[in-house]
Amino acid sequence: MTLHLATIAVWFGAAYLALGLTFAVPFAVRWAGRLDPAATRGTWGFRVLIVPGAVLLWPVLAARLARAR
């Protein structure tokens, strides 16, 4: 892998994580209850714990939210 391809891969990874963090915070605070009714009663500790997973799985969760509407 050349340096140019490695740089592009790092930029894509950073963009993916930035989009994931942008999605994960509102998901943990507001939208998690739409996918799982038990999450509506979740504590702040629970919401903090689901943020890392939501950052990594944001395309899947966004698609499920779109279908849930």
pLDDT in tens, 20-42: 999 999 999 999 999 999 999 99
Residue 9 lies in a domain: no
Q: With pLDDT > 70 as the criterion, what percentage of the chain qualifies?
A: 100
Residue 2 lies in a domain: no
3-state secondary structure 7-64: HHHHHHHHHHHHHHHHHHHHHHHHHHHHHCHHHHHCCHHHHHHHHHHHHHCHHHHHHH
Domains contained in the chain, number: 1
Residue 4 lies in a domain: no
Residue 44 lies in a domain: yes
> Which pLDDT score is estimated for 1?
72
Residue 48 lies in a domain: yes
- Predicted structure pTM score: 0.86
Q: Which domain holds residue 58?
A: 16-68
